[in-house]
Amino acid sequence: MASESSRSSRSRGSGQKRGVLCGHGERPVLRVSGTKENPGRRFWGCVYYEVNEECQFFRWADPEAGSEDPHVTRLKRKVVALKADVKASEWKLKVAAMLCLVGWVEDIAMKVEMVEMKYDCCFVSVLVMHNLYYRVIAQNHIHSRNRYTKT
């Protein structure tokens, strides 16, 4: 059975019963088969798997596929892997968005500092003056429209 899973990836898992130990007295680790016969199938193996000291501990973690078409089984595993890829991509996108936001905030802070230095005042004063200026322009625009629309 161990030859079936000669290519595998390894991860620590807690699904195996705590009382089960391999021949070395260690808790088995969850691995994923990379063989053609069982691609993506999970199994429990010795912590020293693929080392000269292995004890041949081996148990399938997933139930036998049984009568299910192997192509369907592979597709199901591929769907699981693709969902994991989507989650990872979504996380990377969120990180990229946050980095852009941080860059944008830093850019605004730099521009605020430049305005403060140029006008030798604090940014709040510049904002107040800016708002007053645009209110005056808006008021003038409203009054000028009203002058021409009244009959």
Output the tens digit of pLDDT for each of the chain's 151 residues.
444 444 444 444 444 456 788 888 888 888 888 887 887 888 898 888 777 666 888 888 877 656 567 888 888 889 888 988 999 999 999 999 999 988 888 888 888 788 778 877 776 777 777 777 777 777 777 766 666 665 5
In a domain, 127, yes or no: yes
Q: What is the pTM of this model?
A: 0.34
Angle between helix 70-119 and 123-149 (nearest 10): 90
Q: How many domains does the chain have?
A: 1
In a domain, 113, yes or no: no
In a domain, 144, yes or no: yes
Query: pLDDT at position 98, please?
Result: 92
Whether residue 24 contacts residue 55, with contact meaning beta carbons closer than 8 Å, is answered with yes
Domain that holds residue 131: 121-151
Query: pLDDT at position 92, please?
Result: 93
In a domain, 89, yes or no: no
Query: How far is it, in rounded angstroms, from Cα 53 to Cα 70?
Result: 33
In a domain, 15, yes or no: no
Q: Which two tokens stand for residue 132?
A: 């007053």
Query: pLDDT at position 134, please?
Result: 76
Query: pLDDT at position 135, please?
Result: 77
Q: Which residues pair with 29 in a beta bridge?
A: 45
In a domain, 20, yes or no: no
In a domain, 67, yes or no: no
In a domain, 111, yes or no: no
Residue type, 40: G
Only one residue has tokens 């079936």, namely 4
